[in-house]
Structure 1
Amino acid sequence: MTAPQRLTDRKRESIVQAAIAEFRDNGFEVTSMDRIAARAEVSKRTVYNHFPSKEELFAEMLQRLWAKATAQSEDIYRPGVPLREQLRDLLNTKMKTLGDSNFIDLARVAIGATIHSPERAQAWVSRLNQREETFTIWVRGAQQDGRLKDVEPGFAASQIHALLKAFAFWPQVPLNEPLLSAEKQQSVVESALDLFLCWYEIPANPKPV
């Protein structure tokens, strides 16, 4: 019973990898399920058995690339651990995604495809927002522990995302600038930490007024 499952998993992985290459090389509109099947060396029926549509396959790829670099334990917020250390870990894992050429290539394809279909864009953004919920949960945990100011958690999470994406996403996706070096990534992360914690962190021993 286990061997067929392993074969199914291998076929699914082949389909995903073939689709990544096809979308990257040819864009969303030109890529077809036939081309993906041929590149994966499987039948078109096998592709549809795993993914009911091209839109679903593309969304799955984006989500998988995101999940690969942002997997976290269930205990996202850690009481007693310095906020900077915790947040640095979260930002570094996010930077792994933003520094992944496959993710950036597919994001570029996605933005091009969504120009012609706002509905499609909403579906993809919804998928990715589910992955960014990690930061919102972390902010909420730090607030409940009395270590961050009272602010809407989703708003604060969006701010910290924006601090990274301003340097490690938007220049690369529409403008085709090179990916950040490891040194530049760390500089962006540390600067984002300075700005975020300077505004939101509650000092452990605040000075009396």
Structure 2
Amino acid sequence: MTAPQRLTDRKREAIILAAIAEFRANGFEVTSMDKIAATAGVSKRTVYNHFPSKEELFAEILGQLWTRISEELTVTYSADQPLREQLRQMLLAKLQMMADDNFLGLARVAIAATIHSPERAQDMVARMGEREEGLTVWIRAAQADGRLKAVDPEFAAHQMQGLLKSFGFWPQISMGRPPLDSATQNTVAESALDMFLACYER
């Protein structure tokens, strides 16, 4: 009973990896389930057994991506640690994730796909918003502890994300700039920390 399950899991993983490669190479609209099946080395029927549609398959890939992001970015607020140290962990994890080639490739595909479908765009933005909530939760906890000024936590979190993305995401997505190296990631993180804490720390 366990061997077929493992084979099924392997086939599912092969389909996802093939889909990532095809979406990155050809975009969402051009990529077909036939091509994904061929690249994965499985039948088209097998692909449809795992994923009823191309949209479902793409959503699964994004879901895995966002899950990995949220796991890497989760830092629980600590009352006895400096705010800067706690925030630095989150910001560097975010910048490292944004420098990941697979992440950038899939983000480009996702953004291109949303241009053709506003409904798809809303779904993807909602997914991304859910996964970025860790920073909002942290800010809310720091406020409750009296260490940050009163500000809408979602607004402040969005502001912080924007500081990072303006260097580590949008230039790479829209202008093909190379991902940030670790020294530049540190520079961007420290600058964002300076601005955020100067504005909101009590």
Task: Give TM class, smaller chain.
Answer: over 0.9
TM-score in terms of structure 2 length? 0.93
- The answer for the alignment partner of 2:42 in structure 1 is 42
Residue 115 of structure 1 aligns to a residue in which SS?
Answer: helix
- The answer for the alignment partner of 1:32 in structure 2 is 32
- The answer for the alignment partner of 1:156 in structure 2 is 156
Matches of 1:3 and 1:25, distance apart in 2: 33
1:152-175 per-position Cα deviation (integer Å, ceiling 9, x unaligned) = 111111011000000001001011
**Per-residue deviation, 1:9:** 2.2
Q: Are the equivalent residues in 1 in contact too, given 2:73–2:134 (CA < 8 A)?
A: no
**Per-residue deviation, 1:124:** 1.1
**Per-residue deviation, 1:5:** 3.0
Matches of 2:73 and 2:131, distance apart in 1: 13
Q: Are the equivalent residues in 1 in contact too, given 2:75–2:138 (CA < 8 A)?
A: no
Residue identity matched to 1:21: A
**Per-residue deviation, 1:20:** 0.7
Residue 157 of structure 1 aligns to a residue in which SS?
Answer: helix
- The answer for the alignment partner of 2:119 in structure 1 is 119
**Per-residue deviation, 1:147:** 0.9
Q: Percent same amino acid among aligned pairs?
A: 63
Q: Are 1:61 and 2:61 counterparts? A: yes
Residue identity matched to 1:180: L
Structure 2: runs of 5 or more not aligned:
none
The alignment yields a C-alpha RMSD, in angstroms, of 1.7
**Per-residue deviation, 1:86:** 0.7
Structure 1: runs of 5 or more not aligned:
203-209
The alpha-carbon distance between structure 1 residues 158 and 75, as it changes in their structure 2 partners (threshold 3 A), is closer
- The answer for the alignment partner of 2:20 in structure 1 is 20
Q: Are 1:188 and 2:191 counterparts? A: no
| Number of equivalent positions | 202
Q: Are the equivalent residues in 2 in contact too, given 1:77–1:138 (CA < 8 A)?
A: yes
**Per-residue deviation, 1:92:** 1.4
1:28-60 per-position Cα deviation (integer Å, ceiling 9, x unaligned) = 111011111111112222222222221222222
- The answer for the alignment partner of 2:97 in structure 1 is 97
TM-score in terms of structure 1 length? 0.90
Question: Where has structure 1 moved over 6 Å in runs of 4 or more?
Answer: none
